[in-house]
Amino acid sequence: MEKLHNITLRHYIINNEKCIGIVFYPNKVIQALVKQLPNVKWSEEHQVVYLKNTHQNLDAIYSTFRGVAWINVRYFFKNRPVNIQGSGNGDIRWAENRILKEDYKSCPKEYLQKLELKKYSNNTIRAYVRCFEQYLNHYKDADPNELNELHIKDYLSSLVKKKVSNSHINQSINAIKFYYEIVLDMPNRFYDLERPIKEQKLPKVISKKEVLAIIKNTANIKHKCIVELLYSAGLRRSELLNLKLTDIDSERMMIRIEGAKGNKDRYSLLSINVLEDLRVYFKQWRPQKYLFEGPGGTPYTGTSVEKIVKNAARRAGIYKSVSPHMLRHSFATHLLENGTDLRNIQVLLGHNSLKTTEVYAHVATNAFDKIKNLLD
């Protein structure tokens, strides 16, 4: 039986057009068949033969090489999406209203609109815009549609040389892939981009005594409720800000968290003590729609929540850097120390994988209770 030849199909943008690249080892049979394809061309820059990306041309490739060559479409069809749908209320006005330097290359409008359409959180939008604009300005004189995989790899290498964090490099890859794969609708064009190994950092936590001291030193009942909910329900900052009055279920003693990370809804615990404080808060502040609102009913900001936690910690005499997310970490750790099953903690936190939750086993103090220190 005659051995089949091999060709590989890849996505390319050449002269601002979506193209199908055909990669193969030099071979008289393959070369002769390639010449039979409609309007096939050679790209000197990419060193590949290509034709316009249309259904008709894709059908022509299949009919031409069927029975003669094995067509590898692994890089062409395999779906590796870049977090297609978010859960936030994306606001791109800050990016559109910025005052930028004359020679600064900013995000294309369609990039911003796509981020907003996908409902990414404001934090994610800002991170993607920042990372993608750094990439654009690295190649200031180039059209991003003309840049290829080698350009991106060179840019990522420059980030490594600058010793930026692995998380920043990963975020840069996501931001760049978002442009080519989502904005330009070219899935898996950069399938081969190698990501750095994710840093295995343990969550930072504080003791329950320190949490109670922070709550005691909040400035008013509104601030007290904010800190109490972050800790007692294990909320992310964005989840707290998105809470509506209707999300507090005092009958079932549950808090509904709608459209959380990964666009998932979940429930968390509502403390009896927190419910009592919320009732006092409601009578004094009278929020209309969201549980916590700024002046004139405007949405409360993440920066405000950050300041509330840090100021209360400072007044409590805690000089370590305390953040809202640290209260979420402390919630999970303290539950584990109290004997709560890890699977239940996973559900309360909204983690997709139990492996993500297992990290708290490394910081819970009861993991070391039976170990006697050598100096004691």
Q: What is the CA radius of gyration of the chain?
A: 27
Catalytic residue among 10, 224, 328, 334, which?
328
Catalytic residue among 224, 236, 266, 329, which?
236
208 is an active site residue: no
Nearest alpha carbon to residue 365 among 327, 339, 326: 339
> Taking CA 68 as the corner, what is the angle to CA 59 and CA 53, rounded to the nearest 5 degrees?
25
Catalytic residue among 118, 189, 329, 351, which?
351
Q: Tokens at residue 354, please?
A: 């139990």
Nearest alpha carbon to residue 289 among 250, 233, 220, 241: 241
Helix (H) or strand (E) holding 69: strand 69-72
Catalytic residue among 105, 118, 237, 261, which?
261
d(CA 376, CA 372): 7
325 is an active site residue: yes
80 is an active site residue: no
Q: Tokens at residue 79, please?
A: 């779906």
Residue 200's φ and ψ, nearest 5 degrees, are: -95, 85
236 is an active site residue: yes
> Taking CA 149 as the corner, what is the angle to CA 129 and CA 5, rounded to the nearest 5 degrees?
145
User: Where does the chain have alpha helices with state H?
Assistant: 28-34, 55-65, 74-77, 93-96, 109-117, 122-138, 149-161, 166-177, 208-216, 221-232, 237-241, 272-285, 302-315, 324-337, 342-349, 354-357
Residues marked active site are found at 236, 261, 325, 328, 351, 360
